[in-house]
Structure 1
Amino acid sequence: MIEFQNLIKVYNSGGKQVHALNNINLKINKGEIYGVVGFSGAGKSSLIRCVNFLERPTSGKVIVAGQDLTALTERQIREVKKHIGMIFQHFNLLNSKTVFANVAMPLVLSKTPKEQIKKRVTELLEFVGLGDKADVYPDQLSGGQKQRVGIARALATQPSILLCDEATSALDPQTTSSILDLLKKINKEYNITILMITHEMSVIREICNRVAVMEAGKVIEEGTVFDVFSAPKTQTAQNFVSTVMHDQIPESILNMIENNQASNNIFRLTFVGQSTGKPFLSQLAKKLDIDINVLFGSITELQGIPFGNLIVEIQGAESEVKRALTYLQAKQISFKEVTSHAS
């Protein structure tokens, strides 16, 4: 549905060249919700703005619904853009116009007949839960309601793609959750492909199918949400994941590990799916001549799959500890030795 091939975007700033995007290669499939996460300056906003040519790439290709936008005329690009809606962080509503007029704006610009405009806008306001706000002005709305107006406006021309540029960053957690529920509803009922740009990993976990992690204009990691969250490969991805997974070992535990010179048998265990609900550690302690001390633990859910993570100390003879690790391996429970300098 959307594909970036060797995409490069260079800005000229104060006589210097700034490489905002550096050889990006990504593919977003039709009907999926795809997230791009990165810190400020990573290049994610430049990336999303290349999809609807708010920014023209310096080189490379942007392919939307099979068409390479870089090879099209301005008129052809305008036709493609009719099928791309966009939601902004700060809503971009006109305060001098009513909710109805804000939502109707794309239809007015495309010279849609008035009766069709009225029908479409009324349907959309009902869909986003603002059926009673048609004659209200944006200043009279809450932040969440303003974003719902922005979403309705983005859907006005019946797009096949919806771009979300930090769409929830200005909202409180409860409102963010309701907006994400609405986006999931849009994706499911309209089969609209959604590309989300955010710096909030909780948003990625809640709504996305796949995710790309950007840093300094490059994609440094990409995969399913489950794979990236359960086993991040880069330090940047690990930093993002830790903000929502809460899998970092408390400093007090690290200090204890460092001070406990007598034991090096401390491991991080990860449980996936049904294994999170089984008493493996209890069985292990009964089966072998060992004691298991649980130092830290958490469990979360990724795309409907339970994911658990435990820090344990295995006390016993070296031969028994080795047998314990062999048992865990046979049960397909991942483990990694923990030191005071690594988690």
Structure 2
Amino acid sequence: IVVITHELDVVRELADRVVVMSAGRVVEQGSTYDFFSAPASEVGRAFVAATLRDRPSPEDLERLRAGHPGRIVTADVVDDAGESGGVGSVLSRAAQHGVSFELLFGGISALQSRVFGALTIELRGVDAGIDAVIAELRAITRVEETAK
């Protein structure tokens, strides 16, 4: 069955695979899980961001920045974190680097029996320790740091 829709909630419920088109061309295709957890195209990222809302909007980031002076990062959460563990495992070791953290924003979803999403976190401590935590996160997932 082929379903053509802009309603990504329908896609999440029905589809095993996704093809994204823009201006009459295929710009992305793959499993539904891969599409939602790590969209490869700009169009795909825009669709997923509008559907999941697991990342703060620019206005939310501005508000968060005003109340949280530490370094703010957003880390993708994926089901296949491997031996090193996931984002939670890295954060549980943050104190070893002299870093504390606070969860500021995020969302975790399940699709095709696997989890994915994003967490926005404030990291506080010395820069070298924070750099070490961010490096550990980047070794297992995509991380975006918010400019001050």
TM-score > 0.5 by shorter chain: yes
Query: Contact 1:249/1:296 (CA < 8 Å) preserved in 2?
Result: yes
Question: Which residue of 309, 316, 319 maps to 2:128?
Answer: 319
CA offset at residue 251 of structure 1? 4.8
Query: Contact 1:271/1:309 (CA < 8 Å) preserved in 2?
Result: yes
CA offset at residue 197 of structure 1? 1.1
Query: Contact 2:64/2:104 (CA < 8 Å) preserved in 1?
Result: no
Query: Contact 1:221/1:234 (CA < 8 Å) preserved in 2?
Result: yes
**Aligned partner letter, 1:269:** A
Aligned residue for 2:74?
Answer: 268
User: Counterparts in 2 of 1:131-280, with a 5 A limit?
Assistant: 194-256=1-63, 259=66, 263=70, 265-273=71-79, 279-280=88-89
Query: Contact 1:288/1:324 (CA < 8 Å) preserved in 2?
Result: yes
| 2:142 corresponds to 1:334 | yes
Name stretches of at least 5 consecutive residues in structure 1 with no aligned partner. 1-193
Distance 1:288 1:201 in 2: 40
| Percentage of pairs with the same residue | 30
Aligned residue for 2:107?
Answer: 298
Aligned length: 145
Alpha carbons of structure 1 residues 260 and 219: separation in structure 2 relative to 1, 3 Å? same
Name stretches of at least 5 consecutive residues in structure 2 with no aligned partner. none
Distance 1:255 1:228 in 2: 28
Question: Which residue of 305, 310, 325 maps to 2:119?
Answer: 310
Distance 2:68 2:55 in 1: 22
Secondary structure at 2:116's aligned position in 1?
strand
Distance 1:278 1:338 in 2: 17
**Aligned partner letter, 1:306:** V
Distance 2:100 2:68 in 1: 18
Alpha carbons of structure 1 residues 259 and 327: separation in structure 2 relative to 1, 3 Å? same
Normalised TM-score (structure 1): 0.38
CA RMSD of aligned residues (A): 2.7
Distance 1:236 1:288 in 2: 38
Distance 2:130 2:15 in 1: 40
**Aligned partner letter, 1:271:** V
Secondary structure at 2:93's aligned position in 1?
helix
Query: Contact 1:273/1:306 (CA < 8 Å) preserved in 2?
Result: yes
**Aligned partner letter, 1:323:** A
Alpha carbons of structure 1 residues 298 and 274: separation in structure 2 relative to 1, 3 Å? same
User: Counterparts in 2 of 1:35-46, with a 5 A limit?
Assistant: none
Which has the greater radius of gyration?
A: 1
1:202-231 C-alpha deviation (Å, 9 max, x unpaired): 111112111111122111222221222112
Distance 1:203 1:261 in 2: 37
Query: Contact 2:55/2:120 (CA < 8 Å) preserved in 1?
Result: no
Alpha carbons of structure 1 residues 299 and 223: separation in structure 2 relative to 1, 3 Å? same
Query: Contact 1:258/1:339 (CA < 8 Å) preserved in 2?
Result: no
**Structure of higher RCO (CA pairs closer than 8 Å, 6+ residues apart):** 2
Normalised TM-score (structure 2): 0.80
Query: Contact 1:257/1:339 (CA < 8 Å) preserved in 2?
Result: no
Query: Contact 1:281/1:292 (CA < 8 Å) preserved in 2?
Result: no
